[in-house]
Structure 1
Amino acid sequence: MEQDIQAFLLEVQALARQLGLSARLMLLPSRLFQIGLIVVLILLSLLARWLFAERVRERIREMEGLSKGQLRFLVILQRRIALITFVALCWAAIFVMREIMGLFPSRSYILVVVGTISLAWLLIGIATPFIGNPLTRRIVSWAAWIYATLYFTGLLDDTFSLLDSIGLEIQSFRLSLLSILKALVIVGTLVFLARLLSNALSRRIRESQDISPTLGVLLTKILQALLYVSAIFLGLRAVGFDPTGLTVLSGAIGVGIGFGLQKIVSNIVSGIIILMDKSVKPGDVISLGETFGWIQSLGARYVSVVTRDGREYLIPNEDLITGQVVNWTHSDEFVRLDITFGAAYGSNPRKVRAAAIEAALSVGRVVQTRNPVCHITNFGESSIDYVLRFWITDPTKGLTNVRGDVYLALWDAFEAEGIEIPFPQREVRLLGHAPVADAPPSA
């Protein structure tokens, strides 16, 4: 521990000496002139942004025929007018001082360093906005800006030495801030590349006609898991860490899974079973309890089901394995629907059945190749009860709406045929008050 503290103090002293030397050099007349010139260039750049930024924005809005990517690139440049102007003025000043005025390179050293750093910042600012995730974009931007600044100012090696001096010993492995930063950079880069590769492979799998949707989802999940785990292990090995030391941790995680993560593991295993047996797949219409809708996606822990009213239910995979699920489109696209109605006793039942079948066939979504059927189910108190059965092939468009269309067609058909739809009627008779019996005499 004492050696680490001494090494850290030595690195701090070395870095302080270099910063002090750089500060003393800044007091030279030629260096002060360059610093003043840089301040003037910054003010001119801010003035250029104030004068031209809004005009450039309006010009971009008036442009037509450009793709979304081109417009986004122009907006990125418009937001960095001040930095672009500063870089251009800085390198123009360097060119004048060296090529026209014939000054020694030392007379423009600070300008070169600042111009180089500014150019690096500009390139980073143009490239990083294309990173989709906001947090990742911010981390990459700041990391790249800091690295470029340290590199072009010559402080990178001293900073690395300082970070490497801060650490601790874990048996035969030394963990320092520098190794942690390297691990984060390498693992982050490998995970990013793994994500790009997994997205590309997933897209190819979804577009393949020879792979079923459920098998495609299963292969995608397996590929993502393999790529991400490989990226993490390769990143740890790249900084000298041996991942085999994680066996104790994996054993502890296994104990935690056995006691506290039973439901999660059950849902994950159930999800794998669902993907393998193809009992449900994206696009299927299912009913589970009171939930009716079509499957939007299959996840590792749950299934996303979207109902007709726009609600999205996240149903645990275990419920689909252990519960009774109605899959309306599992092996056959045909779905039979039943509706019940009643007709008056004065209407000919044969005429009612024929009118009901004809009404069902008049609805566009009803299958014409499978004839509807209509049967008498009961002689009720005020009507003869019927059931009308018909077939559809598009349950994803809804069931209640097609039932409603058939009911409307029945109404029109019965009205045209003079068939009466009865309703319960009751007759109430008011009787006079009955005489009250004399009360028995009291004892």
Structure 2
Amino acid sequence: MSRHVTMRGPDDVIAGTNPEIDQVLSIGTDLLAQGQTAFEGLFRTWNLYQIGIALGLFALAHILRAVLGPRIRAWMGARQDWPKWRMRILAIIHQRLRAIFFVTLIWATIWIMREVTWPSRSYLLSIIGTLAFAWLSVVFLTRLIKSPSLRKTVRYGAWTYVTLRILNLLDPAEQLLDSAGFSVGDIRFSLLLLIQALVILGVLITLARFFTATTASRIKRNADISPSMQVLIVKAAQIAFYGAAFFLGVRALGIDLTGLAVLSGAIGVGLGFGLQKVVSNLVSGVIILLDKSIKPGDVISLGDTFGWINALGARYVSVITRDGREYLIPNEDLITGQVVNWSHSSDFVRLDIHFGTAYHDNPHDVRRIAIEAAQSVDRVLTHKNTVCHIVGFGDSSVDYVLRFWIRDPTGGLTNIRGNVYLALWDAFAENGISIPFPQREVTMLNQDASEPGIRKTVSD
């Protein structure tokens, strides 16, 4: 019994074993053949002339930019009274003067050549002019994107797309990208799908960011909406716009999300146990926004922290103290802890300070002088009732409490108390009222019992 063995080379092993690899190789071979044909065509006489004309026009555009650029900039400098948006457009145009001159010159040249010679002799110039105009248009359109990284990504992607489109290489490029991939069930993942996902999601997220910013600016300008409700509406708008952008992008790519329902449910249960604190802070933040217990600008005290609320976040509240420190307090602490809101229902705050005077000073005069001294301080409200009461008779002084009102707790509490104490000091010194201090009488006995004791008064 004889056995026939066939030996195959490396090329035979590669070809025919994987249809996807064969497709990639076939498309790549066709592209290389087209590129070789186009490259050989560049060395024809009229094509070389057109390349030389394009290079000359680019050099002329560079010279015009060097000559006219400073004059245009000086002319722009004399237009300082123009609106900012117009000056911004002029600045963008000034940055692209060379490209603008080149596009203008090359299309003028194309028009002249089509009038005096055959259109085929300006075919390559038409392609170069179309590419230059498309690239310049992409530059101006992408200036609307504020994020520098996103702007650069969109710009390079758009340049690639318009170049392939103008050179009639878009279909072969799509076939090549689509052939490099794999299938999972009914879904095929490829480089083409990845690029489409990046483009579609990028555009939708940019639109969602624009609509969110526009909605937020309009809501914040509405004085009829409370600050806490403004934050809640802005957060809800962000979730709605970004969620819609994600789901629309996924549906536009043809990906079915029903198969991920069970998996997402299991992941949600796991995240629920692992992120209890995070979820608690998120829910507490929604409760804070709904019950309006605190809002941006309120002055609060939480433990040793005293300051005003700078912003309400989804997970924490930003509180800025008088010394410039910013505390990020979790929302859960504001729900479960005791919070003093100095400006919850009213901006008026009453402050108490305690002092004492000597027993020989008339209490009626002391009360009158103390009230007048407190009302002489700038931040103390004169139309609110400022009172002074005797609260006790101490060992060394008659004790008083002085109560006054302010309406700007964001300006600080310690400093206003200090100013009132200083006003009391000046008023008491002017009217001869003394502030006593504790005194003790100590009797020192001599060791010789026959001599009388020596009595000394020592102040504590």
2:184 match: 170
Aligned partner letter, 2:148: P
Displacement after TM superposition at 1:426 (Å): 7.4
Instruction: Quickly say closer, same or farther: Cα 1:424–1:79, change in 2 above 3 A.
Output: farther
Q: Which residue of 1 aligns with 2:98?
A: 82
2:62 counterpart (33, 46, 64):
46
Change (3 A) 1:55 1:384: farther
Aligned to 1:366: 380
Partner residue, 1:260:
274
Where do 1:24-173 residues align within 5 Å? 24-99=40-115, 102-173=116-187
Shift of 1:427: 8.3
Residues 1:400 and 2:425 are matched in the alignment: no
1:438 aligned partner:
none
- The TM-score with structure 2 as length reference comes to 0.87
Q: CA deviation at 1:325?
A: 0.8
CA distance 1:412–1:161, change in 2 (3 Å): same
Q: 1:189 matched to which residue of 2? A: 203
Higher mean displacement: 2-11 or 191-200:
191-200
For residues 307-335 of structure 1, give each alpha carbon's deviation from its aligned partner in whole angstroms, at most 9, with x where no partner exists. 22333222111111121111111123321
**Is the Cα–Cα contact under 8 Å of residues 274 and 280 in structure 1 kept in the other structure?**
yes
**How do 1:321-336 residues align onto structure 2 when only pairs under 5 Å count?**
321-336=335-350
Amino acid at match of 2:355: F
Once the two structures are superposed, the pairs formed by residues 373-412 of structure 1 within 5 Å of their partners are 373-412=387-426
Match of 2:454 in 1: none
- What SS is found at the alignment partner of 1:4? helix
Stretch of structure 1 that moved more, 19-28 or 412-421: 412-421
301-310 or 425-434: bigger deviation? 425-434
Contact persistence 1:339–1:387 (CA under 8 A): yes
TM-score (norm 1): 0.91
The Cα shift of 1:200 comes to 2.7
CA distance in 2, matches of 1:261, 1:185: 32
Aligned AA (1:144): A
1:130 alignment partner, SS class: coil
The CA deviation at 1:36 is 1.4
Q: Which amino acid aligns with 1:7?
A: Q
What is the Cα deviation at residue 256 of structure 1? 3.6
1:267 shift after superposition:
0.8
The gaps in structure 1 that reach 5 residues or longer are: 435-443
Match of 1:115, SS state, is helix
* CA displacement, residues 341-387 of structure 1 (integer Å, 9 cap, x when unaligned): 23233322221111111112222322333312222344445443322
Q: 1:348 to 1:107 in 2, by over 3 A?
A: same
1:296 counterpart = 2:304: no
Residue 418 in structure 1 maps to residue 432 in structure 2: yes
Which AA in structure 2 matches 1:15?
Answer: L
Residues 256 and 60 from structure 1, CA distance in 2 versus in 1: closer, same or farther, beyond 3 angstroms? farther
Kindly indicate whether the alpha-carbon contact (under 8 Å) linking 1:53 and 1:79 is maintained by their aligned counterparts in 2: no
1:378–1:385: 8 Å Cα contact kept in structure 2? yes
Deviations along 1:239-260, one digit per CA (max 9) or x if unpaired, are: 1101223224423431342333
Aligned pairs (5 A) from 1:200-215 = 200-215=214-229
Name the residue aligned to 1:16.
32
Give the superposition deviation at 1:209.
4.4
Deviations 1:58-83 (A, max 9, x none): 33233221122111111111111111
1:430/1:10 CA distance change after superposition, 3 Å: farther
The one-letter code matched in structure 1 to 2:345 is: S
Q: Name whichever of 325-334 and 376-385 sits farther off.
A: 376-385
Q: What is the Cα deviation at residue 409 of structure 1?
A: 2.2
Task: Determine the C-alpha separation between the residues in 1 that align with 2:54 and 2:442.
Answer: 103
Contact 1:257 1:265 in 2 (8 A): no
RMSD: 2.3
Q: How many residues align?
A: 432
**Residue identity opposite 2:316 in structure 1:** Y
Q: Deviations over 1:397-438 (max 9, x none)?
A: 22223223322322232233222234456789999999xxxx
- Whole-Å Cα distance in 1 between the matches of residues 438 and 360 of structure 2? 15
| Corresponding residue of 1:439 | none
Partners of 1:280 and 1:31 in 2: CA distance: 73
CA shift, 1:302, in A, is: 0.9
How far apart are residue 390 of structure 1 and its match? Answer: 1.0
Contact 1:233 1:243 survives alignment (8 Å): no
1:56, 1:372 → 2: CA distance? 67
CA distance in 2, matches of 1:378, 1:58: 79
